[in-house]
Protein backbone atom coordinates (compact mmCIF):
# COMPACT_ATOMS: atom_id res chain seq x y z
CA UNK A 1 0.00 0.00 0.00
CA UNK A 2 1.23 3.46 -0.84
CA UNK A 3 1.73 5.92 1.97
CA UNK A 4 -0.98 8.52 2.59
CA UNK A 5 0.43 12.01 2.13
CA UNK A 6 -0.89 14.38 4.80
CA UNK A 7 -0.49 17.95 5.94
CA UNK A 8 -1.52 20.02 8.95
CA UNK A 9 -2.98 23.50 8.51
CA UNK A 10 -2.62 25.53 11.69
CA UNK A 11 0.17 24.34 13.99
CA UNK A 12 -0.41 26.29 17.16
CA UNK A 13 -0.89 24.46 20.46
CA UNK A 14 -3.12 21.62 19.21
CA UNK A 15 -2.07 21.55 15.57
CA UNK A 16 1.51 20.89 16.62
CA UNK A 17 0.35 17.68 18.31
CA UNK A 18 -1.51 16.65 15.15
CA UNK A 19 1.73 17.02 13.20
CA UNK A 20 3.68 14.98 15.73
CA UNK A 21 1.17 12.12 15.61
CA UNK A 22 1.19 11.98 11.81
CA UNK A 23 5.00 12.06 11.74
CA UNK A 24 5.09 8.96 13.95
CA UNK A 25 2.50 6.92 12.02
CA UNK A 26 3.49 4.08 9.70
CA UNK A 27 2.05 4.29 6.22
CA UNK A 28 1.86 8.10 6.43
CA UNK A 29 4.10 10.78 4.96
CA UNK A 30 3.77 14.13 6.73
CA UNK A 31 4.52 16.33 3.72
CA UNK A 32 4.24 19.71 5.39
CA UNK A 33 2.66 22.05 7.90
CA UNK A 34 1.19 25.49 7.29
CA UNK A 35 0.67 28.44 9.60
CA UNK A 36 0.49 32.20 9.08
CA UNK A 37 3.10 32.46 11.85
CA UNK A 38 6.21 31.58 9.83
CA UNK A 39 8.35 31.07 12.93
CA UNK A 40 5.87 28.57 14.39
CA UNK A 41 5.48 26.77 11.08
CA UNK A 42 9.24 26.46 10.64
CA UNK A 43 9.72 25.22 14.19
CA UNK A 44 7.10 22.48 13.90
CA UNK A 45 8.35 21.52 10.42
CA UNK A 46 11.85 21.13 11.80
CA UNK A 47 10.58 19.00 14.70
CA UNK A 48 8.60 16.76 12.36
CA UNK A 49 11.06 16.69 9.45
CA UNK A 50 8.70 18.13 6.84
CA UNK A 51 8.18 21.27 4.77
CA UNK A 52 6.99 24.58 6.16
CA UNK A 53 4.39 26.87 4.52
CA UNK A 54 2.77 30.16 5.46
CA UNK A 55 0.21 29.90 2.64
CA UNK A 56 -1.77 26.68 3.12
CA UNK A 57 -2.91 26.64 -0.50
CA UNK A 58 0.69 25.89 -1.54
CA UNK A 59 0.53 22.69 0.51
CA UNK A 60 -2.63 21.33 -1.10
CA UNK A 61 -1.23 19.98 -4.41
CA UNK A 62 1.16 17.72 -2.49
CA UNK A 63 -1.26 15.99 -0.06
CA UNK A 64 -4.10 13.47 0.01
CA UNK A 65 -5.48 14.55 3.38
CA UNK A 66 -5.15 17.32 5.96
CA UNK A 67 -5.89 18.16 9.56
CA UNK A 68 -7.30 21.68 9.89
CA UNK A 69 -6.58 23.26 13.27
CA UNK A 70 -7.12 26.95 12.58
CA UNK A 71 -9.43 29.27 14.60
CA UNK A 72 -13.11 28.37 14.16
CA UNK A 73 -14.06 31.45 12.10
CA UNK A 74 -11.71 30.17 9.36
CA UNK A 75 -12.93 26.54 9.37
CA UNK A 76 -15.39 26.99 6.53
CA UNK A 77 -13.00 28.88 4.28
CA UNK A 78 -10.03 26.57 4.76
CA UNK A 79 -11.95 23.28 4.80
CA UNK A 80 -13.95 24.40 1.76
CA UNK A 81 -10.78 25.11 -0.20
CA UNK A 82 -9.34 21.71 0.73
CA UNK A 83 -12.51 19.85 -0.25
CA UNK A 84 -12.67 21.79 -3.53
CA UNK A 85 -9.12 20.57 -4.17
CA UNK A 86 -10.21 16.94 -3.69
CA UNK A 87 -8.53 16.54 -0.31
CA UNK A 88 -9.91 14.55 2.64
CA UNK A 89 -10.33 16.63 5.79
CA UNK A 90 -10.08 16.14 9.56
CA UNK A 91 -11.58 19.39 10.87
CA UNK A 92 -11.26 20.41 14.51
CA UNK A 93 -14.38 21.10 16.56
CA UNK A 94 -16.58 23.08 16.60
CA UNK A 95 -17.21 22.28 12.96
CA UNK A 96 -18.07 25.80 11.81
CA UNK A 97 -19.55 29.07 13.06
CA UNK A 98 -22.98 28.54 11.46
CA UNK A 99 -25.13 25.61 10.38
CA UNK A 100 -25.17 27.00 6.84
CA UNK A 101 -21.39 26.72 6.70
CA UNK A 102 -21.59 23.17 8.06
CA UNK A 103 -24.17 22.21 5.42
CA UNK A 104 -21.93 23.61 2.70
CA UNK A 105 -18.95 21.51 3.81
CA UNK A 106 -21.09 18.37 4.05
CA UNK A 107 -22.39 18.97 0.53
CA UNK A 108 -18.88 19.52 -0.84
CA UNK A 109 -17.61 16.31 0.78
CA UNK A 110 -20.54 14.24 -0.43
CA UNK A 111 -20.38 15.72 -3.91
CA UNK A 112 -16.79 14.54 -4.35
CA UNK A 113 -17.05 11.42 -2.15
CA UNK A 114 -14.44 12.81 0.23
CA UNK A 115 -13.84 12.06 3.91
CA UNK A 116 -14.96 14.79 6.28
CA UNK A 117 -14.22 13.90 9.91
CA UNK A 118 -14.85 16.31 12.80
CA UNK A 119 -12.37 16.42 15.66
CA UNK A 120 -14.54 15.60 18.66
CA UNK A 121 -11.56 14.20 20.52
CA UNK A 122 -13.42 12.78 23.52
CA UNK A 123 -15.04 10.18 21.27
CA UNK A 124 -11.57 8.61 21.12
CA UNK A 125 -10.94 8.79 24.85
CA UNK A 126 -10.37 5.12 25.79
CA UNK A 127 -12.74 5.48 28.74
CA UNK A 128 -15.56 6.62 26.43
CA UNK A 129 -14.93 3.74 24.06
CA UNK A 130 -14.77 1.28 26.97
CA UNK A 131 -18.17 2.31 28.36
CA UNK A 132 -20.06 1.66 25.12
CA UNK A 133 -20.56 -2.12 25.63
CA UNK A 134 -22.27 -1.40 28.97
CA UNK A 135 -24.85 1.05 27.60
CA UNK A 136 -28.43 -0.21 27.49
CA UNK A 137 -31.20 2.39 27.90
CA UNK A 138 -29.80 5.52 29.57
CA UNK A 139 -32.51 7.46 31.41
CA UNK A 140 -30.44 10.15 33.12
CA UNK A 141 -26.97 11.53 32.47
CA UNK A 142 -25.08 13.91 34.74
CA UNK A 143 -22.06 15.54 33.07
CA UNK A 144 -19.49 17.89 34.62
CA UNK A 145 -16.59 19.45 32.74
CA UNK A 146 -14.89 21.91 35.09
CA UNK A 147 -11.57 23.47 34.10
CA UNK A 148 -9.04 25.99 35.29
CA UNK A 149 -8.84 29.19 33.27
CA UNK A 150 -6.64 29.17 30.18
CA UNK A 151 -6.26 32.20 27.95
CA UNK A 152 -6.15 29.88 24.95
CA UNK A 153 -9.75 29.35 23.90
CA UNK A 154 -11.16 32.11 26.10
CA UNK A 155 -12.11 34.15 23.03
CA UNK A 156 -15.10 31.85 22.44
CA UNK A 157 -18.11 30.91 24.52
CA UNK A 158 -17.56 28.08 27.03
CA UNK A 159 -20.35 26.15 25.28
CA UNK A 160 -18.26 25.91 22.09
CA UNK A 161 -15.03 25.57 24.03
CA UNK A 162 -16.04 22.77 26.42
CA UNK A 163 -19.73 21.81 26.48
CA UNK A 164 -19.81 20.74 22.84
CA UNK A 165 -17.65 17.72 23.78
CA UNK A 166 -20.33 16.43 26.14
CA UNK A 167 -23.19 17.37 23.82
CA UNK A 168 -21.63 15.19 21.11
CA UNK A 169 -21.16 12.23 23.47
CA UNK A 170 -24.69 12.50 24.87
CA UNK A 171 -26.30 12.75 21.42
CA UNK A 172 -24.40 9.60 20.47
CA UNK A 173 -25.52 7.76 23.63
CA UNK A 174 -29.21 8.66 23.65
CA UNK A 175 -30.81 7.38 20.46
CA UNK A 176 -33.77 9.73 20.45
CA UNK A 177 -34.59 13.17 19.03
CA UNK A 178 -34.08 16.15 21.31
CA UNK A 179 -37.36 17.53 22.65
CA UNK A 180 -36.44 20.55 24.79
CA UNK A 181 -33.49 22.51 26.17
CA UNK A 182 -33.34 24.61 29.36
CA UNK A 183 -30.19 26.63 30.08
CA UNK A 184 -28.49 29.17 32.31
CA UNK A 185 -25.05 30.72 31.97
CA UNK A 186 -22.98 33.73 32.87
CA UNK A 187 -19.77 35.59 32.07
CA UNK A 188 -17.41 35.79 35.03
CA UNK A 189 -13.83 36.32 33.86
CA UNK A 190 -14.34 37.23 30.19
CA UNK A 191 -16.89 38.99 28.00
CA UNK A 192 -18.18 35.57 26.92
CA UNK A 193 -20.09 32.96 28.90
CA UNK A 194 -17.65 31.22 31.26
CA UNK A 195 -19.99 28.94 33.20
CA UNK A 196 -23.11 27.25 31.86
CA UNK A 197 -25.66 24.55 32.54
CA UNK A 198 -27.97 22.88 30.04
CA UNK A 199 -30.73 20.36 30.67
CA UNK A 200 -31.37 18.34 27.52
CA UNK A 201 -34.68 16.44 27.39
CA UNK A 202 -35.31 13.80 24.76
CA UNK A 203 -38.52 12.50 23.22
CA UNK A 204 -38.03 9.03 24.72
CA UNK A 205 -38.00 10.53 28.25
CA UNK A 206 -34.25 10.52 28.82
CA UNK A 207 -32.65 13.61 30.34
CA UNK A 208 -29.08 14.90 30.46
CA UNK A 209 -27.84 17.61 32.81
CA UNK A 210 -24.62 19.21 31.52
CA UNK A 211 -22.49 21.68 33.49
CA UNK A 212 -19.32 23.35 32.23
CA UNK A 213 -16.99 25.95 33.70
CA UNK A 214 -13.55 27.30 32.81
CA UNK A 215 -13.04 29.35 35.97
CA UNK A 216 -12.48 26.57 38.50
CA UNK A 217 -9.41 25.99 40.68
CA UNK A 218 -9.38 22.31 39.68
CA UNK A 219 -10.06 20.18 36.61
CA UNK A 220 -12.96 17.70 36.63
CA UNK A 221 -14.19 15.82 33.55
CA UNK A 222 -16.77 13.24 34.56
CA UNK A 223 -20.02 11.76 33.30
CA UNK A 224 -22.46 9.54 35.19
CA UNK A 225 -24.97 7.46 33.27
CA UNK A 226 -27.97 5.91 35.00
CA UNK A 227 -30.02 3.16 33.36
CA UNK A 228 -32.29 0.36 34.59
CA UNK A 229 -30.22 -2.05 36.65
CA UNK A 230 -26.88 -0.31 36.28
CA UNK A 231 -24.82 2.85 36.67
CA UNK A 232 -21.70 3.93 34.79
CA UNK A 233 -19.19 6.50 36.02
CA UNK A 234 -16.76 7.78 33.36
CA UNK A 235 -13.74 9.88 34.33
CA UNK A 236 -12.40 11.43 31.13
CA UNK A 237 -9.39 12.99 32.82
CA UNK A 238 -8.17 9.87 34.61
CA UNK A 239 -9.35 7.63 31.76
CA UNK A 240 -11.33 5.27 33.97
CA UNK A 241 -14.73 3.60 33.87
CA UNK A 242 -16.59 2.26 36.89
CA UNK A 243 -19.64 0.09 36.26
CA UNK A 244 -22.15 -0.92 38.94
CA UNK A 245 -24.54 -3.73 38.14
CA UNK A 246 -27.53 -4.26 40.44
CA UNK A 247 -28.65 -7.81 41.12
CA UNK A 248 -32.08 -9.16 42.04
CA UNK A 249 -30.74 -10.19 45.44
CA UNK A 250 -31.25 -7.67 48.24
CA UNK A 251 -28.91 -6.72 51.06
CA UNK A 252 -30.26 -7.80 54.44
CA UNK A 253 -29.18 -4.61 56.23
CA UNK A 254 -30.80 -2.10 53.86
CA UNK A 255 -32.99 -3.89 51.36
CA UNK A 256 -30.93 -2.31 48.57
CA UNK A 257 -30.08 -4.55 45.60
CA UNK A 258 -26.62 -6.07 45.86
CA UNK A 259 -24.02 -4.43 43.64
CA UNK A 260 -21.25 -5.82 41.44
CA UNK A 261 -18.64 -3.09 40.97
CA UNK A 262 -15.89 -3.14 38.33
CA UNK A 263 -13.23 -0.49 37.75
CA UNK A 264 -11.21 -0.23 34.56
CA UNK A 265 -8.40 2.24 33.91
CA UNK A 266 -6.68 3.15 30.65
CA UNK A 267 -3.65 5.23 31.63
CA UNK A 268 -1.77 4.52 28.41
CA UNK A 269 -4.51 5.61 26.01
CA UNK A 270 -3.77 8.42 23.54
CA UNK A 271 -7.02 9.91 22.22
CA UNK A 272 -5.41 12.17 19.61
CA UNK A 273 -3.30 9.35 18.22
CA UNK A 274 -6.44 7.20 17.99
CA UNK A 275 -8.29 10.03 16.24
CA UNK A 276 -5.68 10.68 13.54
CA UNK A 277 -5.09 6.93 13.09
CA UNK A 278 -8.83 6.47 12.56
CA UNK A 279 -8.87 9.34 10.07
CA UNK A 280 -6.00 7.84 8.06
CA UNK A 281 -7.79 4.48 8.03
CA UNK A 282 -10.96 6.07 6.68
CA UNK A 283 -8.91 7.87 4.03
CA UNK A 284 -7.28 4.61 2.99
CA UNK A 285 -10.44 2.47 3.07
CA UNK A 286 -12.89 5.19 1.90
CA UNK A 287 -15.25 4.53 4.82
CA UNK A 288 -17.46 6.92 6.79
CA UNK A 289 -16.05 8.22 10.09
CA UNK A 290 -18.01 7.74 13.32
CA UNK A 291 -17.81 11.52 13.76
CA UNK A 292 -18.62 12.65 10.24
CA UNK A 293 -19.85 16.04 9.13
CA UNK A 294 -23.38 15.02 10.12
CA UNK A 295 -22.39 14.30 13.73
CA UNK A 296 -20.34 17.50 13.86
CA UNK A 297 -23.32 19.51 12.58
CA UNK A 298 -25.67 17.80 15.03
CA UNK A 299 -23.52 18.78 18.02
CA UNK A 300 -23.08 22.30 16.66
CA UNK A 301 -26.85 22.74 16.23
CA UNK A 302 -27.51 21.91 19.88
CA UNK A 303 -24.59 24.06 21.07
CA UNK A 304 -25.93 27.04 19.13
CA UNK A 305 -29.39 26.52 20.67
CA UNK A 306 -27.84 26.44 24.14
CA UNK A 307 -25.91 29.65 23.43
CA UNK A 308 -29.00 31.41 22.10
CA UNK A 309 -31.01 30.53 25.20
CA UNK A 310 -28.21 31.71 27.48
CA UNK A 311 -28.01 34.97 25.54
CA UNK A 312 -31.73 35.53 26.14
CA UNK A 313 -31.29 34.71 29.83
CA UNK A 314 -28.52 37.30 30.08
CA UNK A 315 -30.93 40.03 28.98
CA UNK A 316 -32.56 39.88 32.42
CA UNK A 317 -32.00 42.79 34.81
CA UNK A 318 -29.47 40.89 36.90
CA UNK A 319 -26.96 40.81 34.04
CA UNK A 320 -27.37 44.25 32.53
CA UNK A 321 -24.70 45.90 34.66
CA UNK A 322 -22.61 42.79 35.24
CA UNK A 323 -21.58 41.81 31.72
CA UNK A 324 -17.91 42.65 31.12
CA UNK A 325 -17.37 45.19 28.41
CA UNK A 326 -15.82 43.75 25.26
CA UNK A 327 -12.62 45.41 24.17
CA UNK A 328 -12.88 47.56 21.05
Q: What is the pLDDT of residues 1-50, one digit of tens each?
A: 799 999 999 999 999 999 999 999 999 999 999 999 999 999 999 999 99
Q: Same structural domain for residues 10 and 156? A: no
SS3 call for 214? strand
User: Is residue 10 in some structural domain?
Assistant: yes
Q: What is the pLDDT of residues 108-148, one digit of tens each?
A: 999 999 999 999 999 999 999 999 999 999 999 999 999 88
Q: Same structural domain for residues 166 and 232? A: yes
Q: Same structural domain for residues 16 and 62? A: yes
Q: Which of 114, 143, 168 is the last residue of a domain?
A: 114
Q: Same structural domain for residues 312 and 169? A: yes
User: Is residue 316 in some structural domain?
Assistant: yes
Q: Same structural domain for residues 81 and 133? A: no
Q: Same structural domain for residues 32 and 65? A: yes
Q: Same structural domain for residues 98 and 240? A: no
Q: Same structural domain for residues 17 and 131? A: no
Question: Is residue 323 scored above 60 in pLDDT?
Answer: no
User: Is residue 41 in some structural domain?
Assistant: yes
How are strands ordered across the β-sheet holding 51-53?
51-53, 28-34, 4-9, 65-68, 88-92, 116-119
Mean pLDDT of the chain: 92
Q: Same structural domain for residues 49 and 171? A: no
Q: Which of 63, 94, 114 is the last residue of a domain?
A: 114
What is the reported pLDDT for 301? 97
Q: Same structural domain for residues 223 and 316? A: yes
Q: What is the pLDDT of residues 169-219, one digit of tens each?
A: 999 999 999 999 999 998 888 888 889 999 999 999 999 999 999 988 889
What is the reported pLDDT for 282? 98
User: Is residue 27 in some structural domain?
Assistant: yes
Give the span between the Cα atoms of 186 and 174, in whole angstroms. 27
Average pLDDT (236-257) is 79
Q: Same structural domain for residues 138 and 110? A: no
Q: Which of 114, 143, 158 is the last residue of a domain?
A: 114
The CATH code of the domain that includes 61 is: 3.40.50.720
Q: What is the CA radius of gyration of the chain?
A: 21
User: Is residue 231 in some structural domain?
Assistant: yes
Give the span between the Cα atoms of 94 and 71, in whole angstroms. 10
Residues 26/86, Cβ–Cβ less than 8 Å: no
Average pLDDT (234-251) is 85
User: Is residue 255 in some structural domain?
Assistant: yes
SS3 call for 61? helix
What is the reported pLDDT for 151? 67
Range of the domain at 246: 126-267+302-320
Average pLDDT (239-263) is 79
Of 282, 281, 300, 285, the closest CA to residue 76 belongs to 300
The CATH code of the domain that includes 139 is: 3.30.360.10
In the chain, the percentage of residues whose pLDDT exceeds 70 is 92
User: Is residue 15 in some structural domain?
Assistant: yes
Q: Same structural domain for residues 46 and 140? A: no
What is the reported pLDDT for 254? 66
Number of domains in the chain: 2
Q: What is the pLDDT of residues 286-295, one digit of tens each?
A: 999 999 999 9
Q: Is pTM beyond 0.85 here?
A: yes
User: Is residue 105 in some structural domain?
Assistant: yes
Any long-range contacts for 38-42 (C-beta under 8 Å, 24+ apart)? 40/11, 40/12, 41/11
Amino acid sequence: MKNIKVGVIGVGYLGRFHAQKYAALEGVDLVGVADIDSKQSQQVAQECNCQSFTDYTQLLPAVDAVSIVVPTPYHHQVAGACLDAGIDVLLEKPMTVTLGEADDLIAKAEGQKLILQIGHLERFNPAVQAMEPFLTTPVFIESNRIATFKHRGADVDVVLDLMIHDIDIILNIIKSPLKAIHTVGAPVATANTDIANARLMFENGATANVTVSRISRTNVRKMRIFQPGSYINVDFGNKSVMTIQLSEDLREDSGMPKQAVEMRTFADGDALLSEVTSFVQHVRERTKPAVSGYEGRRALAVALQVMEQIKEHQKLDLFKNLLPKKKA
